[in-house]
């Protein structure tokens, strides 16, 4: 096993177009980190030149081959200090003359590998081609190293690919903007893949763009080991490859629990066509026009008394309906209780399940609630789906925790259905730990993902505020819920996400149920969180101002459109390794 090593994430403000000055300054910072004992050192995206280039013609005098003059200087430093360095720069391919936004991994013996940014931000197409090298993990004497560049990490597939391939650490170099940092996307990618993430971000203002800083090192349990808020600086942390190789999320062996046989849709991209036409093709499971609706999540801790749980849910449903909600989501095991779900499991024909159906019919509201189900001698972690004028249905949780595996059988079908307010998908509890699950629901056209859960802690934390002053309306002050993992689940899929969690007396880390909006960077955020009380209600807007093409982000799904499925084959292979013979 590779020994733990010290790592350093360099934060730096390049001066636009001053390559010699930038390279000299970067070398000085990297050498400081190496002298401090760092064996892996990252630098920001496009750190040698600056970022905001108008076009190919403007950047032409600054691009380099790899190896090339700039990387040669870092090779000398890596050799003299026996370390590895990631350098961000604009690359030219000598054979094609195409330009790329690239990262070079440099070791004592020279260039170890190159990553070319695969998922471009709005600016790259002005001068650069999308990367053509895929997502690689490079074996080194200090560990297995992967690289991603800025926008790459918005996509659940990129970090998942390198995690499946055994990355101990993801070196994410960026020019991140428009929010406090460490950014929630960075944290979620480390957390859901159970690995370290090193973040080198730039800071400062360039051509009117304010960059966020916040370079850091993030551990496999979402812990921030060190961070640089504003200005040039270096964040340090100890990386232990043994922790990454456990591949655990909240103690669960998530890579072993994946269900790649159910993930085939990850290889498609349903939103490359006008979704109004695609989801009505042949008249099969046609999606209706979007509109404004109102939904709710209820939060409580269910007991082993089914009647008492039913009474609590009825009261919360009445309250939600009084606020004009059309749908309400309740926690996992809301009907049958948390204590011994294998023993309290009940059939879908139980009078309490029928009572939920009757409540839905009487109040004209959709109800989604978790319960332990028994059917044909098998037990399941399930959710009741009760809709007016529709037979009650169930969804069976696909991804089970180790404890759930001891008594329950996993389901094998994702759940999607339509309501007058939009298309709805359902996940339960541990399902949402798997980014593939939410992505499949998004690819099926879901506007809203509902997630009954029972999670005690580890999925959120606050932010003390940043010294980086963001332009209005972007906030930069203190935020008690800066990172909420299920807010990220919403934004990455351009879906509303209704997370209903159990509440535990005396545990302030539990609860925090909420409804999160489909655009992470829309401020003020379109969301409601249960901080006090037991109910959150919010409007969701799926309407469009254009009758031909959706203008609403949840229906348009900008991030989903920009996926690059041709790279994603390992995600659907049983062992993550396609047979290329």
pLDDT tens-digit map of 334-360: 999 998 888 999 999 999 999 999 999
Residue of 39, 117, 503, 557 marked active site: 117
Task: Give the H or E element holding residue 399.
Answer: none
Task: Provide the whole-model pTM.
Answer: 0.97
pLDDT per residue as tens digits for the range 286-295: 998 999 999 9
531 φ, ψ (degrees, to nearest 5): -100, -40
CA 157-91-6 angle, 5° bins: 65
Q: Where in the chain is the domain with CATH 3.60.110.10?
A: 5-246, 290-566
Model confidence over 492-517: pLDDT tens digits?
Answer: 999 999 999 998 765 555 799 999 99
The CA distance from 249 to 192, in Å, is 6
Cα 336 to Cα 403: distance, rounded to the nearest angstrom: 17
**Residue 6 is among the residues annotated as catalytic for this protein:** no
- Whole-number Å distance between alpha carbons of 445 and 455: 27
Report, as an integer, the average pLDDT of 96-103. Answer: 98
Domain 5-246 annotated CATH 3.40.50.1970: no
Domain range 290-566, CATH class: alpha beta
Contact 449, 493 (CB under 8 A): yes
Options 13, 45, 157, 527, the catalytic residue = 45
The pLDDT of residue 569 is: 97
Residue 457 has pLDDT above 90, yes or no: no
Does residue 51 carry a pLDDT above 90? yes
Closest CA to 73 of 38, 44, 110: 110
Question: Helices marked H in 323-477 — which ranges?
Answer: 341-344, 351-363, 402-405, 435-443
> Is 45 annotated in the active site?
yes
**Quick one: pLDDT band at residue 78, thresholds 50, 70, 90?**
very high
pLDDT higher than 90, residue 544: yes
To the query of whether residue 508 is one of the catalytic residues in this protein, the response is: no
Active-site hit among 6, 19, 64, 150 = 150
Chain centroid to Cα 54, Å, comes to 30
């Amino acid at each position: 096993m590779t020994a733990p090593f010290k790592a350093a994430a360099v934060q730096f403000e390049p001066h636009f177009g001053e390559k010699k000055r930038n390279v000299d300054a970067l070398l000085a910072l990297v050498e400081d980190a190496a002298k401090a004992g760092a064996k892996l050192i990252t630098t920001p995206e496009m750190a040698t030149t600056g970022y905001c280039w108008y076009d190919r013609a403007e950047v032409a005098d600054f691009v380099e081959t790899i190896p090339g003059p700039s990387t040669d200087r870092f090779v000398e430093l890596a050799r003299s200090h026996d370390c590895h360095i990631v350098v961000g720069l604009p690359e030219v391919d000598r054979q094609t003359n195409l330009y790329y936004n690239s990262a070079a991994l440099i070791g004592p013996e020279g260039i170890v590998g190159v990553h070319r940014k695969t998922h471009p931000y709005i600016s790259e197409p002005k001068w650069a081609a999308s990367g053509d090298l895929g997502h690689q993990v490079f074996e080194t004497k200090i560990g297995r190293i992967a690289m991603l560049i800025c926008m790459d990490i918005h996509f659940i597939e990129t970090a998942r690919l390198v995690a499946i391939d055994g990355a101990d650490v993801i070196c994410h170099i960026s020019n991140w903007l428009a929010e406090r940092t460490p950014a929630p996307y960075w944290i979620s990618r480390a957390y859901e893949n159970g690995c370290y993430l090193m973040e080198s971000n730039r800071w400062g203002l360039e051509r009117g763009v304010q960059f966020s800083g916040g370079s850091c090192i993030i551990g496999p349990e979402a812990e921030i080991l060190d961070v640089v808020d504003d200005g040039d600086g270096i964040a340090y942390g100890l990386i232990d490859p043994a922790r990454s190789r456990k591949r655990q999320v909240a103690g669960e062996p998530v890579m072993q629990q994946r269900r790649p046989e159910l993930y085939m849709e990850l290889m498609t991209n349903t939103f490359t066509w006008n979704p109004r036409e695609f989801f009505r093709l042949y008249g099969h499971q046609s999606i209706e026009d979007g509109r404004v609706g109102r939904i709710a999540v209820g939060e409580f801790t269910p007991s082993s008394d089914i009647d008492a749980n039913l009474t609590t849910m009825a009261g919360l449903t009445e309250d939600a309906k009084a606020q004009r909600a059309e749908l309400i989501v309740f926690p996992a095991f809301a009907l049958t209780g948390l204590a011994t779900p294998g023993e309290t499991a009940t059939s879908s024909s139980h009078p309490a399940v029928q009572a939920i159906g009757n409540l839905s019919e009487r109040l004209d509201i959709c109800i989604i609630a978790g319960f332990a189900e028994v059917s044909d001698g098998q037990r399941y972690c399930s959710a009741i789906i009760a809709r007016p004028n529709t037979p009650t249905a169930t969804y069976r949780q696909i991804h089970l925790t180790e404890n759930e595996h001891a008594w329950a059988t996993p389901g094998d079908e994702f759940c999607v259905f339509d309501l007058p307010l939009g298309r709805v998908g359902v996940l339960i509890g541990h399902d949402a730990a798997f980014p593939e699950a939410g992505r499949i629901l998004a690819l099926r056209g879901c506007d809203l993902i509902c997630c009954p859960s029972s999670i005690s802690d580890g999925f959120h934390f606050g932010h003390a505020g940043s010294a980086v002053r963001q332009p209005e309306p972007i906030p930069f002050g203190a935020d008690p819920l800066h990172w909420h993992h299920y807010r990220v689940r919403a934004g990455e899929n351009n879906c509303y996400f209704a997370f209903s969690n159990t509440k535990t007396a005396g545990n302030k880390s539990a609860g925090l149920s909420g409804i999160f909006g489909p655009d992470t960077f829309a401020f003020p955020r379109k969301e409601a969180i249960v901080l006090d009380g037991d109910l959150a209600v919010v409007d969701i807007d799926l309407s469009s101002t254009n009758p031909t093409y959706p203008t609403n982000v949840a229906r348009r799904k900008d991030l989903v459109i920009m996926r690059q499925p041709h790279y994603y084959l390992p995600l659907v292979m049983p062992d993550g390794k396609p047979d290329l013979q």
